[in-house]
Every structure is written in structure tokens, then in C-alpha cells.
Structure 1
Amino acid sequence: MRKLALAAADGMLHFELAVAYEIFRDDLYEVAICATGPVRVGRFHLDPDHGLDQLEHADTVLVPALADVDDDPPADLVDAVRAAHEAGARVASLCTGAFVLAAAGLLDGRRATTHWAHTGVLADRYPLVVVDPDVLYVDNGSVLTAAGKAAAVDLCLHLIRRDHGSVVANTVARRLVVPPHRAGGQAQFVPAPVPAQDDHPLAELLPWVSERLDQPLTVEDLARRANLSSRHLGRHFRAVTGTTPLQWLLTQRIRRAQELLETTGDSVDTIAAAVGMGTATTLRRHFNRTVGVPPDAYRRTFRS
């Protein structure tokens, strides 16, 4: 069982801490809340399980959001998070928890994000950090950062997907009644509100496409099916998914390839055909670019 520590301090926001605890509190992780003593989280007071020194013994350390980013983060929290990373822990921040990682020097020279309302402050205060204000989360391997609120859920599911595969992550997502996967590169801010799930122009199209990933679908095919022009289709995709039709389609193909690599013994050629990539070479190129490892290495990780 992997050990996951929530690094808490006075003045943190309760949403990010509570949602992380809710997502990871199952048989997959041993979750502990670590702080120097009783802490105030939102309107609540919390007694921690351990002190901050226990962060060094965790496999993953999550830093929830700070309510106040005008002042420097607590020095003891910064030191403990830095020590945990030096001891080999994977460290992730949710929302303004990125200010703790930045103060610890873990984001120097790295791309990172936080809630869009605070990206300017983060960039000004820590000029060595490559702040990206337009994404949901950033994965640098051992250091990860997420934007605000719902993006914290996305990053937590992404961590589960990395640790246990997409099948397990999808199961957790179903328990939470949230989408199983939103790519980290999606925009934080969608100009138009996302319509209700069963009441938007793509409600019938998206499931239809997901059932036909083995077919060589084009934007024109999708537009024809939705009875829209290609231009209008692109606008609706941007409003509903935060990305383009082709990028969304590629993401679905990669996700399906991950599931097949985890759950079947099919060859890479067979999987490439099943997800509409055509050839193993094409699948390997897109899979490596998107996931960060070749399909064969991905399969070995989850089969072991």
C-alpha cells in the first residue's frame, strides 16, 4: 500500500484538503494528515495524524491550497516539503499549494500552474518558475502542480492513473461521479459555461465517437454526424471539452490504448488497429508523446 501524506498548516482551504482525503481514502493508499499541531482549515479545526517530520516517509506528499498567498508560506511546512522531496517523495500541490513548492525551490526551472487568479503573483514572486496559467495541471514526474478546485480532482485522478492504471482511476471517478479523465493541458478557463451533460450539442456525438475509435474518423465525419459545420463543431468542442475535436479524439484513442495495454495481451499492432491509429509506429509516436513512455514500457509497468 502506498503512503500518501497531506501536508497541512493553519489557514489552508478545506475544499482541496477534503477532496484529496476523499479521493485517496481507500485500499490503495495509506493516507495521513501531517502538521505541527492542531490546524485551522477553513472554518474547521483539525487534529493531524502525525507531525510534519513524517512527510519524509511518504511515497507522495500533497500540499492543499493556502487561503492567503500575500504572505510567505509557513517556513516549517516549506522545509518539511523540501526534505520529503529530497528523501524521494513525489510532491504535488493543489491550487495555491504551489506557493509552498515554489518557496521550497522545487519549481525552479520547471513548468508549473496554480489557480488562474494567482498565476501572476506566483510568477512575480518566484521568477525562476515557468508559470503556465492556461492548464489544469502540470506533471514534471516527481513534482506536480494543479490549478484550482475541480482541477485538484483531475490531478488526484491523474496520480491514481499513474500509480494503478486507468481502470482503477475510472472506478474511483465513478465513485465520485466525475469525468474519469481531463488532460492536464486543457484550459483552466472556458469562455462559455459548460452546458448540462444531457443538454449540449455534443451529448449524442461524444458517446457515438467513443464506440467507433477503431474507425478512421475525421472532423468532417464528426460534423456530419452532429449536423453541424466544421467551424461550429470546433466552437462546441471548445466550449464543452476545452479542446479541439482532433485533440479530443486523440486523447480518447490514447486512453483506450492504455486500457487495452493494461487489461489484454494484445500486440501493439492489434491495439493500434483497435484504437484507430492504423499502425504500431503511429501508436508508439503519439503514445510516447502523450503518456511519456512507449506502449511496451507502459504495459510492463502495470503488468508488474
Structure 2
Amino acid sequence: MNDIKSPIRSSERASKRSVMPPVAADASLSVGFVLLHRFTLLPFAAFVDCLRLAADEGDRSRQLRCHWTLMTSSGQEALSSCGAAITPCLSFRSPAEFDYIVVIGGVQDERDQVDTTALAYLRQAAAAQVPLVGLCTGVFALIQAGVMAGRRCCVSWYHHRDMIQRFPAIEPVADRLFIDDGDRLSCAGGAASADLAAYLVERHLGKAWAMKSLHIMLLDEARIGTHPQPQPVVFGKIEDRLVRRTIAVLEQHLGESITMEMLAERVGTSRRNLERRFREVLGVGPQKFARDLRLRYGLWLLHYTGKNITEIGERCGFADTAHFSRHFRNAFGATPSAMRKLAGEPGSERVDPFFLHIDGRPTL
């Protein structure tokens, strides 16, 4: 295994520093990035740009308040999942140089060779009590390194099933953006990486610097870690503007049952006209469509969270568990308990409850 502490040659170091932003010796927040092979670009870009914009006045990119170092196992360029390469990168530095070490994973293909040098470095950082951050599938590497035992683990709903199948001893959380578990932080990835970066910038530099970054990135405000991940949406193109607006309202109120009168008022029409337009476009009335959408949300929660059946029924806006279970069985041909058991069986086909077809039928 390569020596993870091996120094970079002085000529190589000088060459790399010449194209990297200048670094202040007293930077208040220092982050080391571990970029794994075929890492996902958006989580990295969102996180590092939040640091960059908080580090300096304006958009000058000097590493004054924040310092970041991009690292790979041997200092080679880092190839992202989309084919873009990040360079220059350094070989792994001493974990003591950083306030956080952020690992960013990529495409989950079990045929890919495991980066044993990177996993050894993560274990070294954990032993040195440096907080570790798993972005997107970077949390898979933390698990492989053996540093997530007994820890809560945030993962994207999209990778929830992959994690259960590969690491059955780990209980993933897929209904929030990120988790701060002390010296272990995990994030679902995507744009949520900017929220986590802003959370750490605010902790170390203050709220004003976090907001400065987000506003330049055209983000209104930082979402808290418990903010839910995106929930079921309607799949398919809907031309009718009134129907489209109504569906948007329903998606924003999945946890409650809205009367047709209130719904019609929200979109500026009559109940009669709303029902007529829904039947013309979707073949079902708005009330049934709304219930099916909430049931689809319940199916999503069964697959991607550990919430019990009662909690799920309440969160989907049903009066009680029996009411929820009865409608769920009518829609999917199985009770919520049976569906959850089926989803957890090895070798079962993946059910993607994220989409509801535009005809309103929540078919699997």
C-alpha cells in the first residue's frame, strides 16, 4: 500500500502552488477533499464554491478565511463521473492540517477497484479525531473504511436500496438533506452539499459569510439538515396550465387532505370547472388524483425511511392507520407492512415509487 504520508517533491509542490489560490496562514476553516475515482461533480462544486465565496471579499478566490486542499491517493488528477477531470491534486496530507476531511464518492459499481489507500487515510483521520464528511456516495467509502459503526448515515433516496443491499448492518436515512453526528457528517449530495457547506461556514465564520456565499450562488437561504429530500412528483407532460398549477399545490401539501373547495380557490377557479378539467386531461377527478398522490408518497416513505406505518399514514394526511392501510391496499394490492417486507427481501426487483403517471394511477 502506498505511504499516505509521503511528501511531495519540492519542485512538484512549487509547480502545483503556482496555479492554486493563495492561502492565508490563519485561515479559520480548513477542509481537505478526498476525491475518489468517478466522483460526482455537483456535490464537490457546490461545497467547494461555498467555501471559495466565503473565503474572500467579492469573488477574488483568495484562501483567506477558508483553506481547501484537493487530494487523491497519489496526487493524480481526479476523474469525475461526467468525464471532467480536476487538477492539480495533492497526495494525502496529514489529517491534522484540516478541520474537516470531506470524501466525495462516485458511481457505485462493485466492479470498480476499491481505493485501499484512500480508505486507510480515512481510518487515519478518524484515529486523529478529525471530523469526516461523506458527500453523496462518499458515505459508502466511510462505511467501507469501518468508521461509521453505530453512526447515523444520510444517503440520497436514490442510493437507499444500494446501501441496504451492500451494507445490511447500516441503517440509512433518506428523508433529510444531511446529518451532523458530531465528528461524522453525511449528506445526500447534489445541491444539498451547498447547504452543508454553508452550515459549516456559519459555524466557523458566522452567518453573514454563509449567506454571502449562498446569495452569490443564487440560493435564497441555507436549508437545515432535517429539511426533507424531494418527494414524489408527477411524471409526464401536462399541457393544461390549470391542472398543472393544481398538481403543484397538491405536491406542496402531501401531508394534508385539502378540500376541493379550498383547492379550487387556491388556483382561482370553481370546483366544478376544476373537476371537469382534471377528467378531460387525466381521466380522474382531482380528489382521487390527490389521494393517489398521497398514497404514492406513503409508498416512497415505506421504501426510503424507517418510519412506522402509523407515522407514515399521518404524514400522508390520512385520519388513522386503518384508513391509510385500506386505501393503500386498494391501490397497490398489498398492505403497507407487506409492501415494506417485500421491498426488503434480497433479490426483489427495485420498485421506484417516485413517479406517478399522469393518468393518476399509482401502478407499480
Task: Please give the range of the TM-score, normalised by the shorter of the 2 chains.
Answer: 0.5 to 0.7
CA contact (8 A) 2:46 2:194 kept: yes
Confirm whether residue 59 of structure 1 aligns to residue 99 of structure 2: yes
Q: Which aligned pairs between 1:103-118 and structure 2 lie closer than 5 A?
A: 103-118=144-159
Taking the aligned partners of 1:185 and 1:20, their CA distance within structure 2 comes to 18
- Residue identity over aligned pairs, in percent, reads 22
Q: Which aligned pairs between 1:1-304 and structure 2 lie closer than 5 A?
A: 1-25=28-52, 26-27=54-55, 28-35=65-72, 36-42=74-80, 43-70=83-110, 71=112, 73-192=114-233
CA contact (8 A) 1:135 1:188 kept: yes
1:158-209 C-alpha deviation (Å, 9 max, x unpaired): 222222333322222111111322122222222237xxxxxx89xxxxxxxx
Distance change (3 Å), C-alpha of 1:73 and 1:56: farther
Taking the aligned partners of 1:13 and 1:139, their CA distance within structure 2 comes to 21
Q: CA deviation at 1:34?
A: 1.1
CA contact (8 A) 1:7 1:33 kept: yes
Structure 2 residue identity aligned to 1:12 = F
1:251-285 C-alpha deviation (Å, 9 max, x unpaired): xxxxxxxxxxxxxxxxxxxxxxxxxxxxxxxxxxx
Distance change (3 Å), C-alpha of 1:153 and 1:72: farther
Q: CA deviation at 1:33?
A: 0.4
Q: CA deviation at 1:20?
A: 2.1
Taking the aligned partners of 1:116 and 1:171, their CA distance within structure 2 comes to 30
Taking the aligned partners of 2:198 and 2:170, their CA distance within structure 1 comes to 25
CA contact (8 A) 1:5 1:62 kept: yes
Structure 1 counterpart SS, 2:141? helix
Max Rg structure:
2
Structure 2: where are the runs of 5+ without partners?
A: 1-27, 56-64, 235-244, 247-261, 267-289, 298-364
Q: CA deviation at 1:14?
A: 2.2
Taking the aligned partners of 2:44 and 2:71, their CA distance within structure 1 comes to 11
CA contact (8 A) 2:43 2:192 kept: no
Structure that is richer in helix per residue: 1
Taking the aligned partners of 2:41 and 2:156, their CA distance within structure 1 comes to 15
Distance change (3 Å), C-alpha of 1:192 and 1:165: farther
TM-score by length of 1: 0.60
1:51-74 C-alpha deviation (Å, 9 max, x unpaired): 113344211111123123424641
Give the count of matched residue pairs. Answer: 217
CA contact (8 A) 2:31 2:99 kept: yes
Structure 2 residue identity aligned to 1:15 = L
1:9-49 C-alpha deviation (Å, 9 max, x unpaired): 32212222222221112422111101122234222333344
Structure 2 residue identity aligned to 1:123 = I
Structure 2 counterpart SS, 1:148? coil
Structure 2 residue identity aligned to 1:155 = L
1:203-262 C-alpha deviation (Å, 9 max, x unpaired): xxxxxxxxxxxxxxxxxxxxx9xx76xxx9xx9xxx9xxxxxxxxxxxxxxxxxxxxxxx
Distance change (3 Å), C-alpha of 1:96 and 1:120: same
1:66-123 C-alpha deviation (Å, 9 max, x unpaired): 1234246411111112211221221111111111111122221111122222122222
TM-score by length of 2: 0.51
1:278 is matched with which residue?
Answer: none
CA contact (8 A) 2:75 2:89 kept: no
Higher relative contact order (CA 8 A, sep 6+): 2
